Structure 1
Amino acid sequence: MVKMNVETREELASLIDHTNVRADATENDIERLCREAVSYGFRCAVVTPTNVRLAAELLEGTDVTVCSVVGFPAGVSTPRVKALEASEAVENGAGEVDMVMNIGAMK
């Protein structure tokens, strides 16, 4: 087990990925997610690829990183599609990408 030496709420918050990857997330939902991420000092705001640009605009000039999911939710996209999705996310302002692996292929 990995031991973490977290002594303050701020240190704990800086380890949290605040997430809204709902397919029905609205612009207001993403605005709230980003506001909360900044307010609490979370490490990043995780959004779907369609919301990366908005989140990047909202978080510009803050310490919160934008993270995009790739191959979400099932991970069954081909590697080529995942690479394109990741590349586009970075172009749109994502500083981090979380890829969902193809579990069936790993069995």
Structure 2
Amino acid sequence: TVKEKPVAGYKSEVKGYDITNTKVAKMTVEGTKTWKDGNATDRPATIKVDLLQNGNAIETQDVTAANGWKYTFTNLESYDASGVAYIYTVKEQPVDGYKSEVHGYDIT
């Protein structure tokens, strides 16, 4: 039998000595908001995180301490109709008195 190491973004199917790699159609983007404010008591109770697909906001989530400052965007299309991968990024909507930085899908 033949085996292939997993290839990111693809599903492998082995039939005899043939391996077929198919692009995965859906993906998930998840991240965490980390506060660097010395546990300030005037921290907002809720922030809004935008999900951007190729630079355009397509979805927004409310993020709170109750959900551990975590956010998850699910069931996202991985590729456009031409088979070109979408680029997903996240952005925190402005919060007075704070500056945000994005690292991958995490925000500080």
TM-score after normalising by structure 2: 0.27
Q: Which has the higher strand share?
A: 2
Higher RCO by CA contacts (8 Å cutoff, separation 6 or greater): 2
TM-score after normalising by structure 1: 0.27
Larger radius of gyration: 2
